[in-house]
Copies of this chain bind each other. A is one copy, B any other.
Amino acid sequence: MPLINKTKYALLGMLSKSSFSGYDLRKGIESNIGHFWHESYGQIYPILRQLVTEGLATSQTETLPGRPNRIVYTITSKGQDVLHCWLRESTEGLPVERNEFLLKLFFGHEVPRDVSIHHIQEHHQLAKDLLRTYYDIQTLLEAHHSASPNYPFWLGTLRYGIIQAEAVVEWCQETLDRLSQS
Contacts and interface: CB of A to CB of B under 8 A. Distances in A.
Chain A residues touching B, range: 35 or more
B105 A157 contact: yes
Contacts of A178: 152, 155-156
Interface of A is mostly: helix
Interface in A102-141: 102-111, 115-116, 118-119, 122-123, 126-127, 130
7 contacts: A13-B107, A84-B111, A87-B107, A91-B101, A91-B119, A102-B157, A105-B157
Interface of A: 6, 9-10, 13, 16, 32-38, 80, 83-84, 86-88, 90-91, 93-111, 115-116, 118-119, 122-123, 126-127, 130, 149-150, 152-157, 159-160, 163-164, 166-168, 170-171, 174-175, 178-179, 182
